[in-house]
């Protein structure tokens, strides 16, 4: 009575309701019933209360109990090896010092996510739309990239290539690991100035600085493990468990990376003597340009509101870097000032 009020059942009742383990559980109790079953429970090494083996009436807890009681060695050895492997491969992200799991070197990251195959595929996709290398817009984007590179902690040595894709509908830009830059002309009116382009490319290059592609590739392992655990404990199919993992782990992980790229990008542009306040202005314009924004929990990106709040929070650090970089002395801040005072971008 007390046991049932506390949410536990005896082995006798629980064995009728657990679908996947039913057959195995029945094998344990095949010829037992009533008095014999109580004797069996009393002798069980896992008896928890007055010698009786008890099971939770909550399905997932009961499944976890079952795994622990009948597959303890497997749970301990696989789980233990997984935890050791995970902890052994933890490392710090440059600049923000966030701890993360990563099993790929920068070389493997480049080969997997930014190698010739990925690069050529993108070039093929936009064949005929890529502006020539000597086009004023390409030259200007290249100038911004060049100015950002010294702050990237060693990435300047990569083979950088800048491509501007003439597609006014696409408000987008991205940088492959290894240094292949793609900017769509659709984002340029939102950037307005070189400092605006620096805000976008600071963010995109920050993904490379933090080796986010390697982290995403590495995260497939723990995410797959989490999906299997959910299937075992909640008795769901792979689609449901993958969706749960995506919502609960993968999307928050993406948002963490995006926020981190905002943070590092802000510092990169400040170090390159672009006024970091231009990043806030850029994301405000981006918010106006984007008609629909999904709720944050369904999105790979932070909401515009959270993004601008975070940027404000990091701004004092970025402004310190901007001042410490000696921008005044080099005169670069004056050029940036001219840029932000309305110098229009060349038409693509």
**Site residues for Zn ion per CB under 5 A:** 258, 261
Q: Which is nearer to Zn ion, 142 or 213 (CB)?
A: 213
Minimum distance, C-beta of residue 289 to Zn ion, in the bound complex (Å)? 16
Minimum distance, C-beta of residue 79 to Zn ion, in the bound complex (Å)? 33
The token duo for 91 is: 């490392």
Minimum distance, C-beta of residue 307 to Zn ion, in the bound complex (Å)? 11
Minimum distance, C-beta of residue 203 to Zn ion, in the bound complex (Å)? 6
Q: Which is nearer to Zn ion, 141 or 209 (CB)?
A: 209
Q: Which is nearer to Zn ion, 147 or 255 (CB)?
A: 255
Give the span between the Cα atoms of 169 and 43, in whole angstroms.
Answer: 72
Q: Helical H runs in the chain?
A: 2-5, 11-14, 22-29, 35-43, 59-70, 72-88, 106-113, 116-125, 136-148, 188-191, 194-209, 212-234, 238-245, 251-271, 277-289, 304-324, 327-330, 332-340
CA-based nearest residue to 192, from 273, 288, 323 = 288
Q: Which is nearer to Zn ion, 109 or 258 (CB)?
A: 258
72-88 vs 59-70: helix crossing angle, rounded to 10: 100
- Please give the full DSSP string across 327-346, using - where no structure is assigned: HHHHTHHHHHHHHHTTPPPP
Is 204 in the active site? yes
Task: Catalytic residue, from 204, 215, 258, 271: name it.
Answer: 204
Q: Which residues are catalytic?
A: 204
């Amino acid at each position: 009575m007390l046991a049932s009020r506390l949410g536990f059942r005896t082995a006798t009742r629980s064995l009728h309701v657990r679908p996947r383990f039913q057959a195995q559980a029945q094998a344990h109790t095949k010829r037992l019933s009533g008095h014999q079953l109580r004797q069996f429970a009393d002798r069980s090494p896992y008896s928890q209360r007055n010698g009786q083996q008890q099971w939770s009436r909550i399905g997932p807890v009961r499944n976890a109990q079952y795994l622990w009681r009948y597959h303890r060695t497997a749970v301990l050895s696989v789980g233990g090896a997984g935890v050791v492997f995970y902890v052994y491969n933890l490392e710090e992200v440059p600049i923000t010092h966030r701890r993360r799991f990563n099993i790929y070197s920068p070389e493997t990251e480049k080969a997997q996510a930014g190698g010739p195959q990925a690069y050529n595929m993108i070039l093929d996709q936009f064949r005929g739309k890529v502006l020539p290398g000597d086009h004023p817009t390409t030259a200007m984007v290249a100038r911004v990239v060049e100015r950002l590179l010294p702050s990237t902690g060693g990435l300047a040595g990569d083979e950088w290539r800048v491509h501007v894709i003439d597609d006014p509908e696409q408000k987008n830009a991205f940088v492959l690991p290894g240094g292949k830059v793609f900017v769509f002309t659709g984002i340029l009116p939102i950037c307005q100035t070189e400092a605006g382009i620096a805000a976008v490319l600071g963010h995109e290059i920050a993904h490379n600085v933090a080796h986010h592609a390697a982290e995403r590739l590495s995260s497939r392992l723990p995410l797959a493990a989490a999906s299997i655990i959910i299937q075992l404990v909640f008795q769901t199919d792979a689609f449901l468990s993958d969706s749960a993992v995506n919502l609960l782990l993968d999307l928050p992980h993406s948002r963490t990376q995006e926020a981190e790229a905002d943070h590092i990008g802000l510092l990169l542009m400040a170090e390159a003597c672009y006024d970091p306040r231009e990043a806030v202005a850029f994301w405000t314009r981006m918010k106006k340009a984007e008609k629909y924004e999904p709720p944050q929990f369904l999105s790979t990106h932070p909401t515009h509101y959270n993004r601008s709040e975070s940027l404000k929070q990091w701004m004092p650090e970025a402004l310190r870097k901007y001042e410490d970089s000696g921008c005044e002395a080099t005169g670069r801040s004056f050029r940036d000032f001219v840029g932000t005072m309305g110098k229009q971008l060349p038409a693509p």
